[in-house]
Structure 1
Amino acid sequence: MRKQEEPRREILSDRTFMIWMVLLGVAAAGIRFAVAFPHGGFMSDQQLFVDWMEQVRQRGLASVYIEGSSINYPPIFLLLMDLYRAAVGWFGIVPAAGELSFKGVLIVLDLILLAAALPLTRSAGRTRSRLFVLALLALNPALIFGSASWGQVDMLHSMLMAAMLLMLPSLPLLAGVLFALALLSKFQAVTLLAVLGIYFLRRLANRQGIRSLALFAAGFTSIMGVTAVFFAQAGGLQAMVKGAYLSAVGMYPQVTMNAMNIWYYFIGTSPTTPDTTRVFGVLTLRSAGFLLLALFVAFAAVYLWKSRLNASSLLKSAALVNFAFFMLPTEIHERYSVPALVLSIFVCLYDRKWRIPAILLSLSVTANLWMVQAGTIGIYTGLVVVYVNVALLLWMVGSLYRELRQNHRDRRTADDERDLTSVVHGKAQTSGID
């Protein structure tokens, strides 16, 4: 790993680091509760979740997809909400949309996930880079707003996706488990398939990845197998797959669902333009968006194929794929940028150049969420966010391209040094014989 990609080795003392961790924990909890109290949030989402919570209580998780209605999230969130409902029920609390009684489950999840970030970042030691990452996760306005104000759960699958990539090089069995849990939390985790595919192909090409792939597959299939059996024994497996993963596809056939991406006036399309509109008489706008995404995924694949297979390159390629997924296809919602944000924050453990972009992305995601929830989306204010997002997407591509070029130069220099050493060694042996 090159010097500029290493964490800053400015080591903090044990006591100083622990003080910072306590302060961050208190601040993270305090700010979330302070935001949750006065802001009702996005009531339609929360009312839907409370209704799902009640449906699970009445019918049970195994049967709720068969007998329930309007459930289009995977089962992990339903399970967590049911456990939360049962826990607060001991105190006579009934969760209600827009109230802390419901948002409590989201705040508790946030705090658990932030605590999980401590072991995930342990390899960086007590460095300022680790402290920066933990602080940006704990105090991030987008993550705070998304749960404590809006009332959504995007941080769950985002952190599982990041954890999976961090564990993949050293603990593939655990990585497989985490990937399964991410998919069972939100279908957007499927974007990591491209990264995983290149990772294992590269390792298999070097005849090093058979054991790693087998362990990953074992972890993944164990969780998915248990889930399939759980729903199948109640006759609800097909209903779960249809409701959680297929029912929402194509539900909003317009170019963007409040996502400040290229379809928000940037290329001349208003948000309500049907994505079935044809361009050049051949492609629909929907197909054009997927083609653009495919180009960026292909670039990320090339980057990963030519880079070292470590946590840094995995996080960078995944961050680009997920941000491209937010920026380029049609029918994208405003919250689909959260995984790219979380992945970009974790990149900062390894590459300081990503710090300012991660902060800017935090602000653009926050602005997008705020405008949607407050109903104050203006064409020109929205376009400011779009321009920032486009610049960040291009910066990610440029950063990965420059890294590829530097890696290529480093390899050529290393090859030249080896060739020179061989020549000198050969001449030395010849002189000895003479």
Structure 2
Amino acid sequence: MDHPDDSIRTNSGATAGEGYRLFWVDTLLLALALRVLLVPLSPYFGYPGDHDDFVRWGVQAVDDGVTSLYDHPPRRLPLRVREDGEWITTERRFDRLCNYPPGSAYRLAVSGWVFSRLSSDRVVNTTLSQYCFSAWVIVCDVILAAGAAALARHFGDERTARWAWGLMLFLPPLWWDSVVWAQTDTMLLAPAIWMLWSMVRQRWMLAGVLWGVAASLKPQAILLLPVWGLALLAPPRSTADAGDASARWQPLAGLAAGALTLNLIALPFTLHSGWAWFRASYWDNLFATYSHLTTLKAFNVWYVDLLLTLSDDATTPCLGLTRDAWGKFMLAVALLAGLAWSAVRWRGRAEGLLLYASLSLLAFMMLPTQVHERYLVLVLPFVCVASLRWPAVRAGFAGLTIVALAQVTWPIWLDVDPAGMREVREAARAAHVELRQFEAHRLPPELRSLPDLEAVFRRAYRELRARTAPIEWVFVVLALASSVATVAAIVRIRPP
């Protein structure tokens, strides 16, 4: 005869299980609805230049074939932009060769095909064009959230997994970056988070393939390589201690699988035009296009330099080295110090991989030059999972989240470019040329000579900058303080 308590426990267990399932389904549907409703805001608040690139590359893949993307820039298309509160149709007079790796070329081709079928006039920056090209990141947002939940579950429990799932779906910097600003950072994060999950579970071949997929989508996948360095330096303790010498080389085999995956995805492009895809999407992106800039509006140590000097010239010497060289030096020191700490403190434990991923990505955001403002988004999922496992990390994570939201919304509140002094001098020289046609005695004294004219322009520029400079100082100080708090909390963590 069954005991009455057995049926009560069975019913309560079923109810709890049903509640868990409802949580996952309900939050997923709510997150998808949020994103679908926000996409129409992208023409207003997104960055039309990047979207113009995406659509033109997609249409080029349809018209000329996907392998043409690294042969020549795309043809121009009509572009809708807002000027003085009114919509106008123009053309963007900037022609860029595709600078995304081949994996992204395929998804651009699919989006371009759908867009070309649905839009006869092919006008860029419409609600239709945004939906066609944002569908990928919406899917990747969900994959990222699922990966963060799986990673959190590995280090915690069901409750921790649900927190990670919910935070990744509804954290404002993530959905704003994906569907309002229409960027593609979660396309890198989606395979990256599952790569780390595979690494902590010692599924090295799967981890390598996922890294190859990430590298085929965005060149920033190289930011994940330090984590592989830790895996090679401090192999999993459970297998290494078991006496299996071959296990020490499994991470290397996984990394080789990643390189093979990337090259297989790129094979049609390699056969068509050699290494043109690598030059355009990797070499130029990482070492050429932005090499002269200290920061691309990223609130890091170089933004402090920018606020003080009003210059983002990375080639300017400082204490005997260029700013770019100082950035590389600080990054190298941070990565090596973090690697040594992780290897010694954690000795191959899975927690070391998660913590070093957080430290290394934060170093890439805060120390080198040429950093985009959106790179902070790449840090958040890993620090989020770490904060759910170790409460001491939560204060830093909260600060970084606030800064990330400020970073991805800067076009709304940052009116005047903080690196505009070069343009100010050029404008003063152009005005001086125009004023030379007038007799000097007919001009006010402050407009007669070029130095005086430059002083007038600089004063006007600084007055405009004064409106947002205090806000920028608040955010950059918060960014640095949150980074220090995160690093300090992580290095104090000890194995149980």
TM-score range, shorter chain: 0.7 to 0.9
What's the % identity of the aligned pairs? 22
What TM-score comes out, normalization by structure 1 length? Answer: 0.82
Give the Cα separation in 2 of the matches to 1:362 and 1:31: 19
Q: CA shift at 1:370, angstroms?
A: 0.8
Q: CA shift at 1:259, angstroms?
A: 1.0
Q: CA shift at 1:298, angstroms?
A: 1.6
Give the Cα separation in 2 of the matches to 1:273 and 1:242: 25
Give the Cα separation in 1 of the matches to 2:68 and 2:179: 30
Does 1:259 pair with 2:259? no
**Aligned pairs, how many?**
394
- Change in 2 beyond 3 A, CA 1:270/1:32: farther
- Change in 2 beyond 3 A, CA 1:29/1:359: farther
- The residue number in structure 1 matching 2:34 is 31
* Letter in structure 2 aligned against 1:118: A
Does 1:102 pair with 2:129? yes
Give the Cα separation in 2 of the matches to 1:93 and 1:304: 55
Highest RCO, 1 vs 2 (Cα 8 Å, sep ≥ 6): 1
Does 1:344 pair with 2:383? yes
Please point out which of 154, 160, 174 is paired with 2:185.
154
Does 1:362 pair with 2:401? yes
Q: CA shift at 1:60, angstroms?
A: 1.8
Gaps of 5+ in 1: 1-11, 411-434
Secondary structure of the structure 1 residue equivalent to 2:301: coil
Q: CA shift at 1:139, angstroms?
A: 0.6
- The residue number in structure 2 matching 1:83 is 110
Does 1:294 pair with 2:297? no
1:36 and 1:148 in contact (8 A); partners too: yes
Gaps of 5+ in 2: 1-14, 74-95, 417-467
- The residue number in structure 2 matching 1:6 is none
2:400 and 2:482 in contact (8 A); partners too: yes
Q: Deviations over 1:1-33 (max 9, x none)?
A: xxxxxxxxxxx9221222221221122122222
Give the Cα separation in 2 of the matches to 1:100 and 1:211: 49
Give the Cα separation in 2 of the matches to 1:152 and 1:271: 27
CA RMSD of aligned residues (A): 2.7
2:232 and 2:249 in contact (8 A); partners too: no
Give the Cα separation in 1 of the matches to 2:310 and 2:184: 25
Q: Deviations over 1:316-365 (max 9, x none)?
A: 21121112111111121111111111222233453343344333322211
Give the Cα separation in 1 of the matches to 2:254 and 2:173: 32
Q: CA shift at 1:283, angstroms?
A: 0.8
- The residue number in structure 2 matching 1:127 is 158
2:294 and 2:314 in contact (8 A); partners too: yes
Secondary structure of the structure 2 residue equivalent to 1:67: coil
Alignment of 1:251-330 (within 5 A): 251-252=289-290, 253-265=292-304, 269-270=308-309, 272-280=311-319, 282-306=320-344, 307-330=346-369
Give the Cα separation in 2 of the matches to 1:237 and 1:161: 27
Give the Cα separation in 2 of the matches to 1:226 and 1:189: 16
2:147 and 2:194 in contact (8 A); partners too: no
Give the Cα separation in 1 of the matches to 2:266 and 2:52: 28
* Letter in structure 2 aligned against 1:19: L
Q: CA shift at 1:145, angstroms?
A: 0.9
- Change in 2 beyond 3 A, CA 1:361/1:204: closer
Please point out which of 200, 203, 219 is paired with 1:171.
203
Q: Deviations over 1:197-238 (max 9, x none)?
A: 12112229954634523540453143123134322221x231
Please point out which of 118, 122, 142 is paired with 2:146.
118
- The residue number in structure 1 matching 2:258 is 220
Give the Cα separation in 1 of the matches to 2:72 and 2:338: 42
* Letter in structure 2 aligned against 1:52: W
Secondary structure of the structure 1 residue equivalent to 2:25: helix
2:231 and 2:251 in contact (8 A); partners too: no
- The residue number in structure 2 matching 1:428 is none
Alignment of 1:51-70 (within 5 A): 51-68=56-73, 69-70=96-97
Secondary structure of the structure 1 residue equivalent to 2:68: helix
